[in-house]
Amino acid sequence: MTIRTRRERERAEREQLIITAARELAEAEGWDAVTTRRLAAEIEYSQPVLYSHFKGKDAIMAAVAVQGFAELAAGLREARAAAAGPRETLAAVGGAYTAFARRRPALYDAMFTHHVGLPFATPEAPAALREAFGELLRAVEPVAGADGAPDLLTETYWAGLHGLVTLMRSGRLPEDAHERRLALLNARFTSGV
Protein backbone atom coordinates (compact mmCIF):
# COMPACT_ATOMS: atom_id res chain seq x y z
CA MET A 1 0.00 0.00 0.00
CA THR A 2 1.35 3.37 -0.93
CA ILE A 3 1.60 6.22 1.54
CA ARG A 4 -0.98 8.15 -0.44
CA THR A 5 -3.44 5.24 -0.42
CA ARG A 6 -2.97 4.80 3.33
CA ARG A 7 -3.53 8.53 3.95
CA GLU A 8 -6.69 8.52 1.81
CA ARG A 9 -8.00 5.49 3.69
CA GLU A 10 -7.23 7.11 7.07
CA ARG A 11 -8.92 10.33 5.95
CA ALA A 12 -12.04 8.41 4.88
CA GLU A 13 -12.05 6.56 8.21
CA ARG A 14 -11.80 9.85 10.16
CA GLU A 15 -14.59 11.33 8.08
CA GLN A 16 -16.80 8.33 8.79
CA LEU A 17 -15.92 8.55 12.49
CA ILE A 18 -17.10 12.18 12.53
CA ILE A 19 -20.34 11.31 10.73
CA THR A 20 -21.03 8.36 13.03
CA ALA A 21 -20.35 10.40 16.16
CA ALA A 22 -22.64 13.18 14.92
CA ARG A 23 -25.44 10.71 14.22
CA GLU A 24 -25.12 9.01 17.59
CA LEU A 25 -24.99 12.29 19.48
CA ALA A 26 -27.97 13.69 17.55
CA GLU A 27 -30.04 10.55 18.16
CA ALA A 28 -29.18 10.63 21.87
CA GLU A 29 -29.46 14.36 22.58
CA GLY A 30 -30.76 16.13 19.46
CA TRP A 31 -29.00 18.22 16.83
CA ASP A 32 -28.57 21.19 19.17
CA ALA A 33 -26.08 19.07 21.15
CA VAL A 34 -23.96 18.47 18.04
CA THR A 35 -21.23 21.08 17.91
CA THR A 36 -17.77 20.85 16.41
CA ARG A 37 -16.29 21.24 19.89
CA ARG A 38 -18.40 18.38 21.24
CA LEU A 39 -17.67 16.18 18.23
CA ALA A 40 -13.94 16.84 18.54
CA ALA A 41 -14.09 15.72 22.16
CA GLU A 42 -16.18 12.65 21.29
CA ILE A 43 -13.80 11.40 18.61
CA GLU A 44 -10.65 12.64 20.36
CA TYR A 45 -9.43 14.84 17.52
CA SER A 46 -8.98 18.59 17.48
CA GLN A 47 -11.53 20.96 15.98
CA PRO A 48 -9.13 21.83 13.13
CA VAL A 49 -9.16 18.15 12.14
CA LEU A 50 -12.96 18.30 11.89
CA TYR A 51 -12.71 21.46 9.81
CA SER A 52 -10.22 19.75 7.51
CA HIS A 53 -13.05 17.34 6.63
CA PHE A 54 -16.15 19.54 6.91
CA LYS A 55 -16.74 23.30 6.73
CA GLY A 56 -18.95 23.15 9.80
CA LYS A 57 -21.97 21.57 11.41
CA ASP A 58 -24.20 22.02 8.34
CA ALA A 59 -21.71 20.13 6.18
CA ILE A 60 -21.57 17.34 8.75
CA MET A 61 -25.38 17.21 8.82
CA ALA A 62 -25.43 17.06 5.02
CA ALA A 63 -23.05 14.08 5.07
CA VAL A 64 -25.25 12.41 7.69
CA ALA A 65 -28.30 13.11 5.52
CA VAL A 66 -26.72 11.58 2.42
CA GLN A 67 -25.94 8.41 4.38
CA GLY A 68 -29.50 8.44 5.65
CA PHE A 69 -30.86 8.63 2.11
CA ALA A 70 -28.73 5.63 1.14
CA GLU A 71 -30.15 3.69 4.10
CA LEU A 72 -33.69 4.81 3.30
CA ALA A 73 -33.28 3.76 -0.35
CA ALA A 74 -32.07 0.32 0.73
CA GLY A 75 -35.01 -0.11 3.11
CA LEU A 76 -37.54 1.01 0.51
CA ARG A 77 -35.95 -1.27 -2.10
CA GLU A 78 -36.15 -4.24 0.28
CA ALA A 79 -39.80 -3.51 1.09
CA ARG A 80 -40.69 -3.09 -2.58
CA ALA A 81 -38.93 -6.31 -3.59
CA ALA A 82 -40.67 -8.34 -0.89
CA ALA A 83 -44.19 -7.21 -1.86
CA ALA A 84 -46.45 -8.74 -4.48
CA GLY A 85 -48.81 -6.55 -6.49
CA PRO A 86 -49.09 -2.77 -6.76
CA ARG A 87 -51.26 -2.21 -3.67
CA GLU A 88 -49.08 -4.37 -1.47
CA THR A 89 -45.95 -2.71 -2.83
CA LEU A 90 -47.22 0.78 -2.08
CA ALA A 91 -48.29 -0.29 1.41
CA ALA A 92 -44.92 -1.94 2.08
CA VAL A 93 -42.95 1.06 0.87
CA GLY A 94 -45.12 3.52 2.81
CA GLY A 95 -44.74 1.40 5.92
CA ALA A 96 -40.97 1.17 5.46
CA TYR A 97 -40.71 4.94 4.98
CA THR A 98 -42.68 5.82 8.11
CA ALA A 99 -40.92 3.12 10.16
CA PHE A 100 -37.54 4.56 9.11
CA ALA A 101 -38.61 8.06 10.17
CA ARG A 102 -39.94 6.84 13.50
CA ARG A 103 -36.90 4.67 14.23
CA ARG A 104 -34.30 7.37 13.44
CA PRO A 105 -35.87 10.77 14.22
CA ALA A 106 -32.64 12.80 14.31
CA LEU A 107 -31.44 11.24 11.07
CA TYR A 108 -34.82 11.95 9.48
CA ASP A 109 -34.58 15.56 10.67
CA ALA A 110 -31.16 15.94 9.04
CA MET A 111 -32.59 14.53 5.82
CA PHE A 112 -35.86 16.45 5.67
CA THR A 113 -36.38 19.19 8.22
CA HIS A 114 -33.02 20.92 8.80
CA HIS A 115 -31.60 23.06 6.05
CA VAL A 116 -28.37 21.35 5.05
CA GLY A 117 -27.96 22.74 1.55
CA LEU A 118 -28.54 19.52 -0.38
CA PRO A 119 -30.23 20.00 -3.74
CA PHE A 120 -33.47 18.09 -4.21
CA ALA A 121 -35.21 17.25 -7.48
CA THR A 122 -32.30 18.36 -9.63
CA PRO A 123 -29.59 16.51 -11.54
CA GLU A 124 -27.13 17.87 -8.94
CA ALA A 125 -28.86 15.98 -6.14
CA PRO A 126 -26.59 13.34 -4.60
CA ALA A 127 -27.13 9.84 -5.96
CA ALA A 128 -28.51 8.59 -2.64
CA LEU A 129 -31.32 11.19 -2.75
CA ARG A 130 -32.20 10.21 -6.30
CA GLU A 131 -32.15 6.51 -5.35
CA ALA A 132 -34.51 7.01 -2.41
CA PHE A 133 -36.93 9.02 -4.54
CA GLY A 134 -36.57 6.39 -7.29
CA GLU A 135 -37.71 3.68 -4.90
CA LEU A 136 -40.81 5.70 -4.04
CA LEU A 137 -41.39 6.33 -7.76
CA ARG A 138 -41.14 2.60 -8.58
CA ALA A 139 -43.81 1.91 -5.95
CA VAL A 140 -46.13 4.68 -7.18
CA GLU A 141 -45.76 4.20 -10.96
CA PRO A 142 -47.93 1.04 -11.15
CA VAL A 143 -50.81 2.87 -9.45
CA ALA A 144 -50.32 6.19 -11.24
CA GLY A 145 -52.89 5.52 -13.93
CA ALA A 146 -53.00 7.23 -17.27
CA ASP A 147 -52.59 10.82 -16.07
CA GLY A 148 -48.96 10.72 -17.17
CA ALA A 149 -47.57 12.40 -14.05
CA PRO A 150 -45.96 9.66 -11.93
CA ASP A 151 -43.25 12.08 -10.72
CA LEU A 152 -45.86 14.52 -9.38
CA LEU A 153 -47.92 11.73 -7.90
CA THR A 154 -44.81 10.36 -6.19
CA GLU A 155 -44.02 13.79 -4.77
CA THR A 156 -47.58 14.00 -3.48
CA TYR A 157 -47.37 10.54 -1.91
CA TRP A 158 -44.03 11.43 -0.34
CA ALA A 159 -45.56 14.66 1.01
CA GLY A 160 -48.39 12.62 2.53
CA LEU A 161 -45.95 10.24 4.21
CA HIS A 162 -43.80 13.11 5.44
CA GLY A 163 -46.84 14.95 6.76
CA LEU A 164 -48.03 11.90 8.69
CA VAL A 165 -44.61 11.38 10.23
CA THR A 166 -44.07 15.04 11.08
CA LEU A 167 -47.51 15.58 12.60
CA MET A 168 -47.31 12.38 14.61
CA ARG A 169 -43.80 13.12 15.90
CA SER A 170 -44.86 16.61 16.99
CA GLY A 171 -47.81 15.18 18.94
CA ARG A 172 -50.41 16.73 16.66
CA LEU A 173 -51.64 13.31 15.54
CA PRO A 174 -51.96 10.46 18.04
CA GLU A 175 -49.67 7.45 17.48
CA ASP A 176 -52.42 4.87 17.96
CA ALA A 177 -54.11 5.65 14.63
CA HIS A 178 -50.92 5.66 12.52
CA GLU A 179 -51.58 2.35 10.76
CA ARG A 180 -55.14 3.40 9.88
CA ARG A 181 -53.97 6.74 8.49
CA LEU A 182 -51.28 5.03 6.43
CA ALA A 183 -53.85 2.54 5.10
CA LEU A 184 -56.18 5.42 4.14
CA LEU A 185 -53.37 7.22 2.33
CA ASN A 186 -52.45 4.07 0.43
CA ALA A 187 -56.11 3.36 -0.40
CA ARG A 188 -56.47 6.82 -1.97
CA PHE A 189 -53.45 6.20 -4.16
CA THR A 190 -54.55 2.72 -5.21
CA SER A 191 -58.29 3.33 -5.65
CA GLY A 192 -58.04 2.97 -9.44
CA VAL A 193 -56.02 -0.24 -9.35
CA distance 94 to 90: 6
Q: What is the pLDDT of residues 35-71, one digit of tens each?
A: 999 999 999 999 999 999 999 999 999 999 999 999 9
Can you give the pLDDT at residue 98?
97
Can you give the pLDDT at residue 159?
96
Can you give the pLDDT at residue 23?
96
Please determine, for residue 189, whether its predicted confidence score (pLDDT) is greater than 90.
no
Can you give the pLDDT at residue 6?
86
Residue 183, CA distances (Å) to 74, 161, 180 in order: 22, 11, 5
Can you give the pLDDT at residue 193?
60
Q: What is the pLDDT of residues 132-181, one digit of tens each?
A: 999 999 999 998 877 768 999 999 999 999 999 999 999 999 999 999 99
Q: What is the pLDDT of residues 79-124, one digit of tens each?
A: 999 999 999 999 999 999 999 999 999 999 999 999 998 998 888 9
| Burial tier of 102 (Cβ tally within 10 Å: 0-12, 13-18, 19+) | middle
Can you give the pLDDT at residue 192?
66
Q: What is the DSSP string of 112-128?
A: HTS------SSTTS-HH
Residue 21 pLDDT level (bands cut at 50, 70, 90): very high
Q: Which of 41, 44, 79, 103 is nearest to 186 (CA)?
A: 79
Can you give the pLDDT at residue 191?
78
CA distance 51 to 11: 12
